[in-house]
Amino acid sequence: MTITIALPSKGRMKDDASAIFERAGL
């Protein structure tokens, strides 16, 4: 899941990270 954080932080990436974290239950 750290792949999203490693990639360039763009608007879409931030959204994806948020969704992943929510899915992971963080």
Q: Per-residue confidence at 26, pLDDT binned at 50, 70, 90?
A: low
Q: What share of the chain is helix, strand, coil (3-state, %, to 5)?
A: 75, 0, 25
pTM, 2 dp: 0.36
pLDDT: which is higher, 19 or 1: 19
Structural domain spans, the chain: 1-26
Q: Are 7 and 13 in contact (CB under 8 A)?
A: yes
